Amino acid sequence: MRTLIQRLYQLFSHEDRLLILMDADPDAIAGAMALKRLLWHRLAACVISYIRPITRPQNERMVRLLGVSLTPIQEINPEDFNRKALVDSQPDHHELFAGLRYDVIIDHHPRNPETRARLADIRPEYGATSTIMTEYLQAARIKPSLKLATALYYGIKTDTANFERPAVEADVRAFHYLFGFTRRPLVRRLEFAEFSTSMLVYFQAALSRYRIRHNRLYTFLGPVSTPDILVILADFFMRAGEISWTIVGGIYGDKLVVIFRNDGLRKNAGRLALKAFGKLGPAGGHAASARAEIPLAHIHDLAPNAQWQQWMEFIIRRVEG
């Protein structure tokens, strides 16, 4: 870590303007906050930008309670920044990430062979990017503030699902280290914002449409106002004792989004997502969690306005075929 922190610092000068990009969730927000803190007073400017609207209640509350300064990508010109970093993601994960040259990429998702940066620190064995960033802070001998420590603590907590998903000893060490700098009431306030009452209609639809096949629970919601509800429901259904997989689909904008979750016991969600949908669009993830985002234009079997039962059958065929 001492070598890595030295390499990180050597990349920048006081005249540099850094743009930190992310797809906002607790782990990504915390990671971006930590990178900005590491480079504090070492840059002329540093802006954290997110590529998609922040609609999930837990993300909205995290930004508000911790006072995180974020700017939507639509309100900035990336060319105004001579340095760029990507946190908790890689360039192939979204079209808005592609086409840019990165100085720093720090991530815990499986490495794409095309990922390139002057410093690319990719650790797919780690449960959270927040763990990696905590190690950077420790190597730099920076004690995190209450808000930064809480963000990193919460990032590890959410991405490991309270250590129910695969994690390594480094995640446990970072979690334990951060605990001493956090306040439990603040963490609880973040945890109690998983969904809003406006999302309950999706719970109703999912509960009325689910289908179980071979310990796999499938459901399809149709058009959704945010793909976050698919993630929430995939995690929700995993609480059923008889279920070892949940596969939740919906239409968001011009894409079919499918979320995969499993119990982590000799299974690989990322591999299954790639096998089922990789020929149609971006798909992949971790052993216990994955997603696919397929442009509707790539799906020739169904019209976008097809009945939910037809979409359900389409997903089941792709997964089990």
Residue 168 belongs to domain with CATH number: 3.90.1640.10
For residue 31, pLDDT beyond 90: yes
49 pLDDT tier (thresholds 50, 70, 90)? very high
Q: Of 145, 168, 191, which residue constitutes the final position of a domain? A: 191
Domain assignment of residue 64, given as a range: 2-191
5 pLDDT tier (thresholds 50, 70, 90)? very high
pLDDT digits over 260-302, tens only? 999 988 899 999 999 999 999 999 988 889 999 999 999 998 9
Q: Do 157 and 99 belong to one domain?
A: yes
268: domain CATH number is: 3.10.310.30
Are 86 and 73 in contact by the 8 Å Cβ rule? The answer is no
Single out the residue of 73, 21, 92, 55 nearest to residue 231, CA to CA: 55
Q: Do 79 and 102 belong to one domain?
A: yes
Q: Do 86 and 164 belong to one domain?
A: yes
What pTM does this model have? 0.74
Give the pLDDT mean for 79-102.
95
For residue 166, what are its two tokens?
A: 């695969």
pLDDT digits over 109-140, tens only? 999 999 999 999 999 999 999 999 999 999 99
Beta carbons within 8 Å of 73's beta carbon, 6+ residues apart = 21, 49, 50, 51, 96
Tell me what pLDDT residue 131 has.
98
Number of domains in the chain: 2
